[in-house]
Amino acid sequence: MSVEQTGQAGHTGQAEHTGQAEHTGQPEETGRPEETGRTGRLVGVGLGPGDPELVTVKAARLLGQADVIAYHSARHGRSIARSVALPYLRGDQIEEALIYPVTTEATDHPGGYQGALDDFYADCATRLAKHLDAGRDVVVLCEGDPLFYGSYMHIHKRLAHRYPTEVVPGVTSVSGASAVLGRPLVERDEVLTVLPGTLPAEVLAGKLAATDSAAVLKLGRTFDKVRSALAEAGRLDDAWYVERATTDKQRVEPLAEVDPATVPYFSLALLPSPLTPPSGLPEPAPEREPRQGEPRQGEVVVVGLGPAGRPWLTPEAQDALATADELVGYGPYLDRVPPNPRQRRHPTDNREEARRAVHALELARAGSRVAVVSSGDPGVFAMASAVLEAAAEPRFADVAVRVVPGLTAAQAVASRAGAPLGHDYCVLSLSDLLKPWDVVAARITAAARSDMVLAIYNPASRSRTWQVAAARDLLLEHRAPRTPVVIGRDVGGSAESVRVVTLGELDPAEVDMRCLLVVGSSTTRVVERGGRQVVYTPRRYPA
């Protein structure tokens, strides 16, 4: 016999249960397979180490749906498994109490103790098969995990090849004990060994001496032997005793201090990871206070948030944001970073890039880890150049600055349209706030004459409404009116839209400050795929 119980993952030859069993007796047949048209399903359900809240969502659902609930118990009829499952039972289900004929006592069975158990499991399988043949779904309850020293496995071996079968894993008593102890079982390359206390003492001692971490199950009458084996292996001082883990009767003590007379069967010995000190997890090392006259070391990390949304935020950017002490940036961009009470935020207006950069460097010089956030990539019309320009001042010579890239708006829009940036392309901003329009116009003309695709940032704003038309007219001097133009608006956001028009049809009224334009070259193509237009620029350019 093998049953995993609270704080102890299984046994052979002993059972102790709590909880009142309610057996309704052997039900009458209500149908044969040829009458019901189906065969019942057998399910072994792991209930975890004892706390009903550790029953999985799937296990709870199957408990409520079952026609028959089966559980093992000693002759007193009390079942821990049933008491754990009780909150999830309907109350009108057939119950099959599988009562062991023997536990630790002697038997006059011709086959001895093992023969008695073999006959018992065969009888249990026959009883449950009648329900399965009648089309009833049968759930067999098991503490811990059904296939980890669990009683269910003896039913499984006899019926799984004959009926549809499923096993629902559960939290083992070993995991439960480690959790309530609050100590890791294993770290890095360590080895965990699970042992039954019923092994010979010399075998136990040898295995305990050769492993990093261990769990010894089946205590009770084996406790003295297990303690002696731990002492022989030189591990007694590291061992912990856990009884009925995760329940209201839970008990956790150094194993060397436990009175053997108080040890029930449902307990285990645990050797947690030797990398964790006995007093618990090590305290984090305090930050070294700077010596008198020594400045604290801070840094500025310029972080690209991508065009929109966490899925487009790189792991490196997430790490930089998570480890920062201070966040600096344009208000709407800061709003995209989840709040953390540990961090201070410094939102500013969109046109205060230079002041923002200086502020971030001053915070870092004072010892803070500062993240300066940018939409898209910080090196593309964003904060990286502003911070590095300010950092060139002698007073910031010792302040570390690094740039964490992000997905650019041009890449995002291009991906939604297809692959318009598949060949050489030019990235250009229509804003004339930081450079005169005649420079912008000259660059548009140069790019148009070179027959490169253009990714146009900042095409319009509330105060700049004429540049789109001016840029279109300059491009038409060198590009055919049929040239494809992608208008991407709020790509990645809730108001995302992507439209494909021709350069000759481009209406400036459709373009606002949340748009990015991709103007094709002479080789850019538009094709229909799946009911939508796909834009791409071939990798080869004609000779």
What tokens appear for 189 in the block? 């390359």
86 shares its domain with 153: yes
Q: Residues 142, 45: one domain?
A: yes
In this prediction, residue 287 has a pLDDT band, given cuts at 50, 70 and 90, of low
Question: How would residue 34 be classed by pLDDT, with cut points 50, 70 and 90?
Answer: very low
- Would the pLDDT of 292 be above 60? no
272, 274, 278, 280: CA torsion to nearest 10: -80
Same domain, 159 and 37: yes
Predicted local confidence at residue 286, as pLDDT: 54
Contact predicate 181/243, CB 8 Å: no
Task: Identify whether residues 48 and 155 lie together within a single domain.
Answer: yes
Do 522 and 471 contact (CB within 8 A), yes or no? no
C-alpha distance from residue 346 to each of 449, 476, 515, 542 (Å): 44, 44, 27, 52
**Which pLDDT belongs to residue 265?**
80
Cα 164 from Cα 137, distance rounded (Å)? 10
> Are 2 and 150 in contact, with CB atoms under 8 Å apart?
yes
- My answer on whether 38 and 131 are in the same domain is yes
**Residue 191 belongs to some domain of the structure:** yes
Q: What angle do CA 390, 393, 399 make, to 5 degrees?
A: 80
Going across the sheet that includes 532-536, the strands are: 418-419, 532-536, 525-529
- pLDDT (average), residues 337-347: 90
Kindly state whether residue 229 falls inside one of the protein's structural domains. yes
Same domain, 312 and 359: yes
Same domain, 157 and 52: yes
> Is position 419 within any domain?
yes
Q: Is residue 2 in a domain?
A: no
Rounded mean pLDDT of 15-36? 39
Q: How far is CA 335 from CA 312, 313, 329, 526, in A?
A: 16, 14, 10, 37
Which residue among 404, 419, 453 closes a domain? 404
Chosen domain end from 349, 378, 404: 404
Pairing mode, if any, of strands 344-348 and 326-330? parallel
Q: Please tell me the pTM assigned to this model.
A: 0.54
Domain that holds residue 471: 410-536
pLDDT tens for 229-246 read 999 999 999 999 999 999
Q: What is the DSSP string of 193-222?
A: EEEETTS-HHHHHHHHHH-SEEEEE--GGG
Q: According to the model, what pLDDT value does residue 312 have?
A: 87
How far is Cα 336 from Cα 39, in angstroms, rounded to an integer? 54
Q: Which DSSP letter does residue 334 get?
A: H
pLDDT at residue 274, rounded to an integer: 86
Interatomic CA distance for residues 444 and 449, integer angstroms: 9
> Which among 358, 386, 404 is the end of a domain?
404
3 within domain boundaries? no
Q: 132-136, 254-258, 312-316: which has the minimum mean pLDDT?
A: 312-316
User: Does residue 542 belong to any structural domain of this protein?
Assistant: no
Q: Are residues 243 and 326 part of one domain?
A: no
Would 113 be classed as within a structural domain? yes
Strand order in the sheet with 453-457: 425-429, 453-457, 515-519, 484-489, 497-502
Contact 33/133 with Cβ under 8 angstroms? yes
Same domain, 428 and 497: yes
Q: How many domains does the chain have?
A: 4
Average pLDDT score, the chain: 87
Task: Count CB neighbours of 518 within 10 A.
Answer: 25
How do residues 351-410 score in pLDDT, each as one tens digit? 788 999 999 999 999 999 999 999 999 999 899 999 999 999 999 999 999 999 999 999
Same domain, 326 and 378: yes
Q: What is the pLDDT of residue 8?
A: 41
Contact, 428 vs 456, CB < 8 A? yes
Q: What is the CATH number of the domain that holds 202?
A: 3.30.950.10
The DSSP line for 91-106 is SSSEEEEEE-S-SSS-
Residues 150 and 264 in one domain: no
3-class SS at 192?
strand
Phi-psi category of residue 385: left, alpha or beta, with phi > 0 → left and psi -120 to 50 → alpha: alpha
pLDDT in tens, 142-177: 999 999 998 899 999 999 999 999 999 999 999 999
**CATH of residue 150:** 3.40.1010.10
Which pLDDT value is given to residue 272? 93
> SS3 breakdown of the chain: % helix, strand, coil, rounded to 5?
30, 20, 45
Whether the pLDDT of residue 263 is over 90: the answer is: yes
Is 287 a domain residue? no
**Alpha helices, DSSP H, located in 42-189:** 57-65, 80-85, 112-133, 152-159, 173-181
Contact (CB, 8 A) for 537 and 453:
yes
46 plus 77 within the same structural domain: yes
